[in-house]
Amino acid sequence: MISERKHQTAATIVDTFRKGETDPVQVLESSLRRTASSESVFVTFTERRARAEAEASAKRWRAGQPLSALDGVPIAWKDLFDIEGTVTTAGSAIFLRKRPPASADAEVVLRAARAGMVCIGKTNLPEFAYSGLGLNPHFGTPHNPFSGQSARIPGGSSSGSAVAVASGVVPISIGTDTAGSIRVPAAFNGLVGYRSSSDRYSKAGVFPLAPTIDALGPLAHSVQDCIAIDAVMTARDFIQSNEIVSLVIDDAILEDPAIEEDVRNNLEKVVVRLQDAGVQVTRSRLKSLHSALEVIARFGWLGAAEAFTFHSDLLASEDAVGIDPSVRGRLETARQMPLTTLVRLIWARKELMAQIRAELGHRILILPTVGQVAPELAPLEKAARDEIDRFLSVNFAVLRLTMAGSFLDMPGVTIPTGFSSEGLPTSMLLAGLSGEDDRVLAAAERIERIVCS
């Protein structure tokens, strides 16, 4: 077994409701007790709403009339999602002071409520969701539960969302992913994370970073739970598939010196196990993937131009001094991006998305989610203050592989592959073509059954 789950999945919680062994109120109380030790994980709690939703759900279960397969399950939302009566801070102290409370739930939050899920609050993130490391000087940085003697970063930007699940506060949380912000924290915290195709879910009421590339998705303990919440957020049932899973590995990615030995070895062990179980695995170089990596390294990140444009008024205001310097610095680097560079990025994205469609076909790409385990927190906190170039270098290294997938709008599911010699989680990423989320989720569910059995 790759990793032993320490906490219940949403599916197992619902099973206890069905058997009458517990009820949503008791589960909520357990979740709320765990928040006491979840320092810096949440920005806002919605305890009154949660209690009302749990009590209503308990009545439905007693009557044998649950609203959905997730009725009564606690859920947390990254603080980019509007929740009625709360301020959407986007991890910013400026927004906390100056933004009014949301007048309505974001569309996907509303869908979860209609399915009977219990909203316990909004989770922490780096300011404006603009970091793959997860640090936040305003609200604190959630500590990775796998930290040993030295604290490790949670990954970002869905940092609080990942730690809320990994520490057992909730079985499912919802994050956003522009360059890797679901996949990276899922990998660092030993979770399953699903980054959807950009247009799979409604983004109404979700604060953006880079609207062209932004995607939503869950962090959970199982692919099954991701499929269940996907059905809630899309308002349609998931269609099971018996399609033969065919995987492709690019050896040039695995052989990159930036991939740590434990990450590489654990992935290779999983591949052997999959092959022994009859899964077809081929090895070939995907030119489009390498071209995407080269384009990003040469011309920069398309999302940077959008993020700068979105926040340009704030950057020009007197409030700019209150922005986390590491975030402000990254935003400002896009100010001087030439128009020709931006156009090249847009052209390259369109061309490479077509190219990978031809190269990959119906196969699923398998690669490390991140080339390393979670770095220590303290040196990066220092770098964010005093060595910004080093901070940005680590940030880019952590996001490098997931950025390529985002550039190509590839839906992806992270699955744990084991642990490093230091006891830190390692992870693999299963990615498919834009819009083929159902195929990716179905493949991930089958692969998880094999590697976690």
- Reported as a single tens digit per residue, the pLDDT across 153-200 is 999 999 999 999 999 999 999 999 999 999 999 999 999 999 999 999
181 and 280: one domain? no
224 and 250: one domain? no
Q: For 214-326, list the strands marked E by DSSP.
A: 215-220, 246-249, 280-283
280 and 406: one domain? yes
Task: Write down the residue that tokens 């009014």 correspond to.
Answer: 100
> Cα separations (Å) of 230 from 120, 183, 184?
19, 16, 20
- Determine, yes or no, domain membership for 15: yes
Tell me the H-state helices in 102-213. Answer: 107-114, 159-166, 183-188
Q: How many CB atoms lie within 10 A of CB 425?
A: 28
Tell which of 173, 203, 234 closes a domain: 234
80 and 149: one domain? yes
> Per-residue pLDDT for the chain (453 aa), expressed as one digit of tens each?
455 567 899 999 999 999 999 999 999 999 999 998 889 999 999 999 999 999 999 999 999 999 999 999 999 999 999 999 999 999 999 999 999 999 999 999 999 999 999 999 999 999 999 999 999 999 999 999 999 889 999 999 999 999 999 999 999 999 999 999 999 999 999 999 999 999 999 999 999 999 999 999 999 999 999 999 999 999 988 777 778 899 999 999 999 999 999 999 999 999 999 999 999 999 999 999 999 999 999 999 999 999 999 999 999 999 999 999 999 999 999 999 999 999 999 999 999 999 999 999 999 999 999 999 999 999 999 999 999 999 999 999 999 999 999 999 999 999 999 999 999 999 999 999 999 999 999 999 999 999 987
- Determine, yes or no, domain membership for 320: no
416 and 348: one domain? yes
167 and 76: one domain? yes
- Token pair belonging to 144: 């990775």
**Which residue, among 307, 319, 371, 378, has the nearest Cα to 141 in the 3D structure?**
378
Enclosing domain of residue 204? 10-234
- Based on the structure, what is the number of domains in the chain? 2
Measure the CA–CA gap between 160 and 120, rounded to whole angstroms. Answer: 13
Tell me the H-state helices in 40-193. Answer: 47-62, 93-98, 107-114, 159-166, 183-188
229 and 250: one domain? no
What are phi and psi for residue 427, nearest 5 degrees?
Answer: -150, 155
Measure the CA–CA gap between 155 and 260, rounded to whole angstroms. Answer: 17
φ/ψ region of 420 (left if φ > 0, alpha if ψ in -120 to 50, else beta) reads beta
252 and 230: one domain? no
- Determine, yes or no, domain membership for 326: no
pLDDT, tens digit, 9 for 90 and up, residues 262-273: 999 999 999 999
What are 414's strand-pairing partners? 193, 429
Residues assigned a catalytic role: 78, 157, 181
Measure the CA–CA gap between 149 and 147, rounded to whole angstroms. Answer: 7
230 and 253: one domain? no
Question: In the 8-state DSSP scheme, what is residue 371?
Answer: S
197 and 153: one domain? yes
- Determine, yes or no, domain membership for 368: yes
| Alpha-carbon 283 to chain mean position | 27
With beta carbons less than 8 A apart as the criterion, state whether 451 and 415 touch.
yes
256 and 220: one domain? no
- Determine, yes or no, domain membership for 327: no
Amino acid letter, residue 135: L
